[in-house]
Amino acid sequence: MALRALARVNLAAVERNCARLAATAAPAELCAVVKADGYGHGAAPAARAALAGGATRLAVATAGEATALRAAGIDAPLLVMGALSAEELAGAVAARADVAAWREGFVAALAATPGAEGVGVHVKLDTGMGRLGTRDPEEAARVARAAAEAPGLRLAGAMTHFATSDDDPAFVREQLAAFTPWAERLRAEHGDLLVHAANSAAALTEPAARFDLVRCGIAVYGLDPFHRDPADHGLEPALELHTYVAEVKRIAPGQSAGYGRRFVAREPGWLGTLPIGYGDGVRRGLTNNADVLVEGRRVPLVGTVSMDNITVDLGPGGREPVPRGAPAVVIGPQAGEAILAEEVATRLRTINYEVVCGISARVPREHHRDGAPA
Ligand SMILES: Cc1ncc(COP(=O)(O)O)c(C=O)c1O
């Protein structure tokens, strides 16, 4: 029996994507970014698959995400990349995660946190992202010194983050020109530390950005960091979003579908109701603005996306064009056709990241390996 909404996640695809990324990045290590519940794919299963595929480390954004991975029994080296308040810092320490730092006061607070012995500090230089990190290389060097000298702490890494690796390689090179000499100086001063900068887009296209480690998120899940077709980089989308046709009804000229009557039929035809909506992450911006696959056929989503339902135009004809219960796909392949997350993102004027992260907690995730139970 079909579920009203189901995200099917192929962990074998995650594993293959990671094998490909690891081979591309080698000799740099692959750190799989599994924040935001593994970009909506399920953090712990995605992390295990990434490690099986060749990732040697994991990264998350929050202390809570680190805690959840440890609770799931994952004990790979883990980096919390995000800002941490004092309470959150204690959580990250308890999860035996490394942390990112760019202020001396933060390093002092970390050193004073019970249980912080052995915690690795990755110093973050802001070379142009304008978000976390310090823009001042001298301050960043002082932070590194503080981490190296604080009893119990470990200076573990030197990092930065790119602002434009998906669309402006010239600015990536500017960021690299700021980062590389600073990181090399730190390495000369402190010896063994991991230098890292690249996200998926940079890891795939900018060899000079790979250093010791690449931090890949979107590509791990088989989504294209360049917003086109993941196949361009040999990536396989891991996630499919399924629903089914719960209701089929005739629609006559002048009759409408959904809130606000944003679709009014001009011809006699058939309407299908699919029990998935913005409460599941099918965004309201897809109102009259998406295709869905039903029995391998692209049909237009018509009318307003509701919280729990969408309606599709099943076309004209004298007989019901599809039976009630017919499987439908919002993201993914069906009988030779496919809807990529990138297509949905383009319709919404957003990025594939937001499409998959937006699939809500109400949607069960079913993990499998090429169709076999995971
Ligand atoms: C600091 C940092 N590194 C790496 C990543 C992974 O980026 P991507 O998903 O583009 O590979 C992110 C994600 O946004 C990030 O915030």
Query: Tens-of-pLDDT digits for all 374 residues of the chain?
Result: 589 999 999 999 999 999 999 999 999 999 999 999 999 999 999 999 999 999 999 999 999 999 999 999 999 999 999 999 999 999 999 999 999 999 999 999 999 999 999 999 999 999 999 999 999 999 999 999 999 999 999 999 999 999 999 999 999 999 999 999 999 999 999 999 999 999 999 999 999 999 999 999 999 999 999 999 999 999 999 999 999 999 999 999 999 999 999 999 999 999 999 999 999 999 999 999 999 999 999 999 999 999 999 999 999 988 999 999 999 999 999 999 999 999 999 999 999 999 999 999 999 999 999 999 99
Q: Which of 260, 223, 189, 245 is nearest to 351 (CA)?
A: 223
pLDDT at 317: 86
Question: Ligand 1 centre and the CA of 254: distance in Å?
Answer: 48
Cα–Cα distance measured from residue 224 to residue 213, given in angstroms and rounded to the nearest whole number: 20
**Type and span of the H or E element at 213:** strand 213-216
CB 22 within 8 A of CB 54: yes
Cα–Cα distance measured from residue 132 to residue 138, given in angstroms and rounded to the nearest whole number: 16
Catalytic residue among 124, 244, 249, 259: 259
> Is 353 labeled as catalytic in the residue annotation?
no
- Which residues are bridge partners to 158 per DSSP? 123, 195
Return the ∠ at Cα 108 (arms to 106 and 109), rounded to 5°.
65
Nearest CA to ligand 1 atom 8: 217
Cα–Cα distance measured from residue 291 to residue 50, given in angstroms and rounded to the nearest whole number: 31
To test the ligand 1 pocket, which listed residue (131, 199, 354) has its Cβ within 8 A of the most ligand atoms? 199
Q: Which of 119, 199, 202 is nearest to 153 (CA)?
A: 119
281 pocket-lining for ligand 1 (C-beta < 6 Å): no
Catalytic residue among 35, 124, 278, 353: 35
Task: Give me the helix-helix angle, 43-53 and 63-71, nearest 10°.
Answer: 70
Helix-, strand-, coil-residue percentages of the chain, each rounded to 5? 35, 25, 40
To test the ligand 1 pocket, which listed residue (20, 58, 80, 215) has its Cβ within 8 A of the most ligand atoms? 215
Record the tokens describing residue 352, joined without a space: 């594939």
Q: Which atom of ligand 1 is nearest to the CA of 216?
A: 11
Cα–Cα distance measured from residue 85 to residue 62, given in angstroms and rounded to the nearest whole number: 10
What values do phi and psi take at 242, rounded to 5? -110, 150
Q: What is the pTM of this model?
A: 0.97
Give me the half-sphere count of Cα atoms (radius 13 Å) on the Cβ side of residue 111: 17
CB 238 within 8 A of CB 371: no
Cα–Cα distance measured from residue 66 to residue 72, given in angstroms and rounded to the nearest whole number: 10
pLDDT at 2: 82
Question: Ligand 1 centre and the CA of 315: distance in Å?
Answer: 42
Q: Which atom of ligand 1 is nearest to the CA of 220?
A: 11
Q: Which of 188, 189, 124 is nearest to 162 (CA)?
A: 124
Cα–Cα distance measured from residue 208 to residue 211, given in angstroms and rounded to the nearest whole number: 7
Q: Which atom of ligand 1 is nearest to the CA of 200?
A: 11
Burial code (b: 16+ CB inside 10 Å, e: under 16) for 15-48 equals: bbbbbbbbebbeebbbbbbbbbbbbbbbbbbbbb
> Is 259 labeled as catalytic in the residue annotation?
yes
202 pocket-lining for ligand 1 (C-beta < 6 Å): no
Q: Which atom of ligand 1 is nearest to the CA of 61?
A: 16
79 pocket-lining for ligand 1 (C-beta < 6 Å): no
161 pocket-lining for ligand 1 (C-beta < 6 Å): yes
Nearest CA to ligand 1 atom 2: 161
Cis peptide before 27 (omega within 30 of 0): yes
pLDDT at 1: 53
200 pocket-lining for ligand 1 (C-beta < 6 Å): yes
